[in-house]
Amino acid sequence: MKITTKVNLFITVSLLVSLLIVNTIVFFLFMKTTVNMEAHLVFKNASEMLKKCHISKSLTLEKNLLNSYMPSHSFIRIVGPNSTTINQVTNDKVLVQKISPTFSTEKNFELRPFQEHQNLVVHVPIHQNHKVIGTLEISERLSRLESRKDIILSIMGTVTIVSVLLSFLAGRWLSAIIMKPIVSMISTMEDIEQSGTLKKIGIQTETKDEVHKMAATFNRMISKLKENSDKQRQFISDASHELKTPMTAVSSFITILRRHGTQDETIAKEAIEAIYLEINRMKNLTKTLLSLAELEDSEPVDIKSVDLVSLSKALVTQFMQVYDRPIILHKNSTPFSSREMN
């Protein structure tokens, strides 16, 4: 799975989960607040009913009075201490049969589901001589609650769908912005792999974020690789040049030995000695080159002074023996005859 897909999926799922949690909390608070408001209205009507009516010990009330306070799909009844109905009016006979009377000494309310609806049941104790002699029980179907619940659910569903869609589009846009330098880096790496040529990533804007730092680090790495590659080529060139000189000298003295053989002991001895010196020189040179290859740039190089006059005399002697011709060395504007060197 691509990183862009992962980022997009993560953002969308995170938003969806967050919306579900928020919607659940909002829906719960809405239902609780609405039910509390409905219960408050019913409690208010019950209190007015009890204030206007004189309730005897028989707990009887006029049905006309009860009907004046009764909403649609509800019932009002007086419940005695043994949870028996003493007086009752209703406009929903099914509802009154399903909800049994309950005697309560405390003011409370509850929700009871019935026929796919929520029904609010309120209990208000009836006091007489500081004693609870009965309970005024009022129940009504919360039809407005159902309609409001459908509205808020539809609103939440629409908002969730639109938010997830916008999140998906925003996630694609954001992932494209984040992955643009990474895609450029991948393309550059593929070009380097195919062509073998080191290239840098083009950074158009400095965003100072992690992706920009990664691209800048990649470019610094490419610069370091180019520098090391140039040093490697220079090292190979220098090593070849340094090894060429002693190899030429060894080859020259071998030519002398092949030409004169070992008959002339003086020439043979000089040639063997020179070959031995050049072999040791090559050995030391190879060791030095290997050491240089392992050293970092910060390591100091051991530089020694060389007597160019003595070195030149030795080379003149070697060349004169190899090519069998006179060679003159000039130093300090004074001619020096090769014949005098011997």
SS (H, E, C) 60-118: CCCHHHHHHCCCCCEEEEEECCCCCEEEEEECCHHHHHHCCCCCCCCCEEEEEEECCEE
How many CB atoms are located within 10 Å of the residue 126 CB? Answer: 19
Q: Which domains does the chain have, with CATH numbers?
A: 3-164 (3.30.450.20), 214-296+307-341 (1.10.287.130)
pLDDT in tens, the chain (342 residues): 676 777 778 888 888 888 899 989 988 898 888 888 888 888 888 888 777 776 666 666 666 667 777 777 788 888 888 888 888 888 888 888 888 888 888 888 888 877 677 888 888 888 877 788 888 888 888 877 777 888 888 988 898 899 888 888 887 787 777 777 777 777 877 887 787 777 777 666 666 667 777 778 888 888 888 887 787 777 777 777 777 777 777 777 777 777 766 666 777 777 777 777 778 777 777 777 676 666 544 455 567 787 788 878 877 777 776 666 788 888 775 544 444 444
Spatial contact of 42 and 109, defined as CB atoms under 8 Å apart: yes
Two tokens, residue 220? 């610094």
- Beta carbons within 8 Å of 203's beta carbon, 6+ residues apart: 181, 212, 215, 216, 219
Q: Which amino acid is it at 158?
A: T
The CA R_g of the chain, rounded to the nearest whole Å, is: 53
CA distances from 257 to 92, 97, 160, 272, 314 (A): 133, 133, 97, 9, 18
pLDDT at 60: 67
Spatial contact of 312 and 336, defined as CB atoms under 8 Å apart: no
Instruction: State pLDDT tens for residues 231-287.
Output: 777 777 777 777 777 777 777 777 777 776 666 677 777 777 777 777 877 777 777
In whole angstroms, what is the distance from residue 96 CA to residue 90 CA? 7
CA distances from 212 to 75, 207, 275, 282, 316 (A): 72, 6, 59, 49, 62
Q: Which amino acid is it at 190?
A: E
In whole angstroms, what is the distance from residue 323 CA to residue 239 CA? 27
Angle between helices 210-260 and 143-195 (to 10 degrees): 20
pLDDT at 292: 64
Two tokens, residue 258? 């092949």
In the chain, helix, strand, coil percent, each to 5? 65, 15, 25
In whole angstroms, what is the distance from residue 295 CA to residue 289 CA? 10
Spatial contact of 200 and 188, defined as CB atoms under 8 Å apart: yes
Two tokens, residue 275? 């070959």
pLDDT at 180: 73
Spatial contact of 81 and 134, defined as CB atoms under 8 Å apart: yes
End-to-end CA distance of the chain: 83
Two tokens, residue 74? 């509800």
